[in-house]
Chain A
Amino acid sequence: MGTFVEQRLNLKRKVLVVDDELINRKLLSQIIGRDYEVLLAENGRKALRIIREHQETLSLILLDLLMPEMDGYELLEIIHNDLELSRIPVIVLTAEKSAEVKSLQMGAADFIPKPYDAPEVILARIGRTIELFDSNTIISATEFDSVTKLFNREFFMEYAYLHDQYYPDFEMDAYVLDINRFHLLNEMYGRAFGNDVLCHVAARLKELVKERHGVACRDSADVFFFYLPHTETPDEVYQYIEYSIRDLWQDARSHIRLGIYPKVDRSLDMNRRFDCALLACNSIRHNFTSHIAFYDAEMHEKEAFGERLISEMDTALQEKQFLVYYQPKFDITGDEPVLASAEALIRWQHPSLGMISPGQFIPLFEENGLINKLDRYVWYEAAAQIRKWRDKYGVTVPVSVNVSRIDICEPDFVYEIKRIVKDNGLRPQDYYLEVTESAYTENSDQIIEVVNELREYGFRIEMDDFGTGYSSLNMLTDLPIDVLKLDMKFVRNMHTNEKDYRIVQLIMDIAEFLDVTVVAEGVEFEEQYKLLKEADCDVIQGFYFSKPVPPEELEKFIVKED
């Protein structure tokens, strides 16, 4: 790229003249010296030294063929076979017709006959050659990914499009290849190893597309795209690529996964086709048993539905289509269950789709970061509701809200939570924050720091979904929490499955040891309620008492308590 920079900066280009005859060197210097900075060498060996010294900035070599020590042919061969040096164009100086052909075959860009042409002709040939190589260098630099030497995305899309033009009748498959746990490979074994893996995959892909007449590129980090004529046996494609890297990462517990959009719809834009394959590929990101996924009609519908929900979220927030429901939690430590608090849960009352389950939109919004906006909406609504109930009934019903890992990582999170509570005239202890167990295990240091700050301020912290996030027992003792929320999957079968009941008892013991309250979620039946009471569970939440209800309906419990 040196020559390109020189062109841009309008610098004088460097040209090396290699000729054993002093007169010829002087003559050429005279001819080109006004336009170029001229370097001189009287034989191939000296020339090679100068070339290596100036390889970044040398624009052209004018090379005589018959010289002592190292002749022009030998030097030409060295240049041609060196990846770095071969970007420097060579013009051969010769009086022989046969030498012209031979040198062109050996990689010379052009020749200048002896005796020399008129200076204008020489200058024109030099200028044209440099310009041509500049363009090539720029195209090469932008056309290929620097690590794998595969096409980059832009050029790939262009070539895939051209492939379609040349083979209009071929049915084509769009593939996206991703390497699972690639960031871990980089972290554990270093970037050089990571790059080695990428290069192995790329080398295999090059062979594959050559064999099957396709095109391949590296899209980003560890994501590759390739476009192949349709095959009914994509497993073979998988094996073909995987085979090349199996030995490389035998200890690394990595694997590749393929997303395939088979028999692409040619009416779709090329980028769109690979979006579909990528969607398929991402659908098995967390699936360690499936390594190949296909984009199909069901995925298409799900994607279209997801897109619709994403695009309508802002309007839904403005039009208050999102409703905050409350599920009461009852204290069961006394003779009679007593309303202790409630959990705020989001619902989407869509004007045309009806009630949309949170399971359909929350994972979607979590994936693209929109969840933060929605969570904040819920936080505000819940705080305002606590205030409303207090104003109406004179009692405070604490409400817990969900706080995701993404929320906690927001720089203004603590400020925002404090502001919401303050704006509604609440005390921090009236407002509970539910943080999932998995959030603690994924980014524990930052989470613990933030949660500690909130806890010291007076907020009550509930660990949600306890039992699903693989906390180690010794880690639990250090976590800043006030409540363990026992995941509903333990509660679900505890009245029919002895093992589940024993686990619940075990968790109760842990909670007692940690001196924290236990809330059991998903309690539906009286037997579950009784068993939990027997096991000294403090609080229960579930359909046994009430499903999540609009705020007005929760009021009947408040009135009852009153």
Chain B
Amino acid sequence: MLTIDKLNELGANTAEGLQRCLNDEGFYLGLVPSALEKARYEELDQRIKAKDLDGAFETAHALKGILANLSLTPLFDVVNEITELLRSKTDTDYSGLVDKMWEQWNKFAALL
């Protein structure tokens, strides 16, 4: 069950996210599942694995934006880190960061 309290427990800054939604909890909670759509994270994962750094950057950048707006902070932090590396086209081993991303995603997705 997705609630504000449970999101807070996972480290989301819901106060900030809610403020952007004019403190409309229902509206805010209604947006969160879209930000956790699994297919998009899988897309990022696959593009990184395929060394499609430009494509991966686009996906990461888009995810980063929505996670920031909803202030799902722990997930945002790791996606942000991936985005910045991709922006500079850093050819490195992303697997650790991708695992971390899935770890956070799983925590949030478990609430849905």
Contact = CB atoms under 8 A, between A and B. Distances in A.
The yes or no verdict on A and B being binding partners is yes
Which secondary structure characterizes the binding site on chain B?
helix
Given A30-B21, A114-B69, 14 more contacts: A20-B62, A21-B65, A22-B34, A23-B31, A24-B69, A27-B21, A30-B27, A31-B22, A66-B61, A115-B68, A116-B69, A118-B19, A118-B20, A119-B20
A531 B58 CA distance: 107
Interface in A31-68: 31, 66
A6 B5 CA distance: 44
A24 B20 CA distance: 10
A95 B69 CA distance: 11
B50 to A, nearest CB: 19
Given A22-B34, A66-B58, A114 B19 contact: no
Nearest to A26: B31
Interface string B39-80: 000000000000000000010011011101111000000000
Contacts of B68: 95, 114-115
B35 interface: yes
A21 B64 CA distance: 11
Interface in A282-334: none
B31 A27 contact: yes
A21 B21 contact: no
A30 B31 CA distance: 11
A7 B27 CA distance: 30
B62 A30 contact: no
B58 A115 contact: no
A19 to B, nearest CB: 9
B24 interface: yes
Given A22-B34, A114-B69, A27 B20 contact: yes
Given A24-B65, A24-B69, A66-B61, A115 B31 contact: no
B22 A30 contact: yes
Contacts of A30: 20-22, 24, 27
Nearest to A95: B65
Contacts of A26: 27, 31
Contact of B20 (A21, A31, A66, A95): A31
Residue in A26, A66, A115 with the greatest tally of chain B CB atoms within 10 Å: A115
A70 B75 CA distance: 29
A31 B21 CA distance: 7
B66 A23 contact: yes
Contacts of A22: 34
Residue in B19, B62, B64, B68 with the greatest tally of chain A CB atoms within 10 Å: B62
A31 to B, nearest CB: 7
A27 B71 CA distance: 13
How many A residues are at the interface, by size bracket?
A: 10 to 19
A21 B67 CA distance: 11
Interface string A118-144: 110000000000000000000000000
Nearest to B71: A115
Contact of A119 (B22, B27, B61): B22
B40 to A, nearest CB: 10
Given A114-B69, A115-B69, A115-B71, A21 B62 contact: yes
A119 B71 contact: no
Residue in B21, B64, B69 with the greatest tally of chain A CB atoms within 10 Å: B69
25 contacts: A20-B62, A21-B65, A23-B35, A23-B66, A23-B69, A24-B69, A26-B27, A27-B21, A27-B31, A30-B22, A30-B27, A31-B20, A31-B22, A66-B61, A66-B62, A95-B64, A114-B65, A114-B68, A115-B16, A115-B20, A115-B69, A116-B20, A116-B69, A118-B20, A119-B19
A162 to B, nearest CB: 47
Contacts of B19: 118-119
A112 to B, nearest CB: 11
A114 B35 CA distance: 15
Contacts of A31: 20, 22
Contacts of A23: 31, 34-35, 66, 69-70
Nearest to B30: A26
Contacts of A27: 20-21, 31, 69
Contacts of B70: 23
Contacts of B34: 22-23
A26 B66 CA distance: 11
A401 to B, nearest CB: 84
A139 B64 CA distance: 42
A117 B61 CA distance: 18
- Pairs of residues from A and B, 5 with the lowest C-beta to C-beta distance, nearest first: A115-B68, A23-B66, A115-B69, A23-B31, A116-B20
Nearest to A20: B62
B77 to A, nearest CB: 13
A30 B35 CA distance: 17
Contacts of B61: 66
Contacts of A20: 62
A331 B106 CA distance: 124
A118 to B, nearest CB: 6
Nearest to B27: A30
A118 B62 CA distance: 20
Contacts of B58: 66
A22 B30 CA distance: 12
Nearest to B65: A114
A434 to B, nearest CB: 85
B61 to A, nearest CB: 6
A532 B112 CA distance: 120
Contacts of A116: 20, 69
B2 to A, nearest CB: 15
A26 B64 CA distance: 16
Contacts of B24: 30
A30 B23 CA distance: 10
Contacts of B31: 23, 26-27
Contacts of B35: 23
B80 to A, nearest CB: 9
Contacts of A66: 58, 61-62
B27 to A, nearest CB: 6
